[in-house]
């Protein structure tokens, strides 16, 4: 598999690992995996949408697979599907991720508060992942 293509077989393994981590109380690990799964599914949706719109392969590869900025991925998705319900939700999840990561060592009053926020983040990411799965199935 070329370096710029997704290893889609790993996505389900990562989802399973995220579920196990969450059940075992490793909420930060689960949150990180959950976000990465959303990002990988978004890449797949972008690639499929762009391909269906006859975007050149090198452009698809650059936008869907090589891009490292999640906000840019959201923008690419918005360009390919301008009237969607997902862009704003993805932006909100990214903002929440940034907020959690940047304040993790000093902004939480207790471990319980941090766990509650992480669990909420995981739930939001899971909903978005399911939305992306449905969109991908509708496109294929």
Sign of the torsion angle spanned by Cα atoms 40, 44, 47, 53: negative
58 domain-assigned: yes
45 domain-assigned: yes
Q: Look up residue 137 and give its two tokens.
A: 């199935």
User: 102 with 12: CB under 8 angstroms?
Assistant: no
Domain of 50: which CATH number?
1.20.120.330
Sign of the torsion angle spanned by Cα atoms 129, 131, 133, 139: negative
Residue 2 has pLDDT above 70, yes or no: no
The domain total for the chain is 1
Residue 4 has pLDDT above 60, yes or no: no
List, in order, residues 6 or more apart from 34 with CB less than 8 Å away. 18, 121, 122, 125, 126, 129
2 domain-assigned: no
Q: Look up residue 78 and give its two tokens.
A: 């918005």
User: 99 with 8: CB under 8 angstroms?
Assistant: no
pLDDT tens-digit series, residues 34-55: 999 999 999 999 999 999 999 9
pLDDT tens-digit series, residues 50-85: 999 999 999 999 999 899 999 999 999 999 999 999
Query: What is the dihedral angle through the alpha carbons of 136, 83, 51, 59, rounded to the nearest 10 degrees?
Result: -120
Q: By percentage, how much of the chain surpasses pLDDT 90?
A: 74
| Residue 123 lies in domain | 9-139
Q: What is the pLDDT of residue 6?
A: 61
Q: What is the pLDDT of residue 1?
A: 39
91 domain-assigned: yes
CB burial readout 99-125, b (16+ within 10 A) else e: ebeeeeeeebeeeeebeebbeebbebb
3 domain-assigned: no
120 domain-assigned: yes
32 domain-assigned: yes
71 domain-assigned: yes
Higher pLDDT, 76 or 16: 76
Q: Look up residue 11 and give its two tokens.
A: 């996505």
């Amino acid at each position: 598999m070329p370096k710029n293509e997704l290893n889609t077989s790993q996505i389900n393994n990562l989802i399973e690992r995220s579920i196990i981590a969450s059940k075992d109380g490793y909420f930060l690990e689960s949150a990180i995996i959950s976000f990465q799964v959303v990002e990988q599914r978004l890449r797949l949706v972008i690639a499929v949408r762009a391909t269906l719109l006859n975007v050149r392969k090198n452009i698809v590869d650059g936008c869907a697979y090589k891009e490292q900025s999640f906000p840019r991925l959201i923008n690419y998705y918005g360009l390919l599907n301008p009237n969607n319900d997902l862009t704003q939700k993805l932006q909100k999840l990214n903002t929440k991720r940034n907020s959690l990561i940047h304040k993790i060592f000093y902004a939480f009053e207790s471990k319980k508060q941090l766990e509650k926020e992480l669990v909420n983040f995981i739930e939001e990411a899971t909903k978005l992942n399911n939305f992306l799965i449905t969109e991908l199935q509708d496109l294929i």
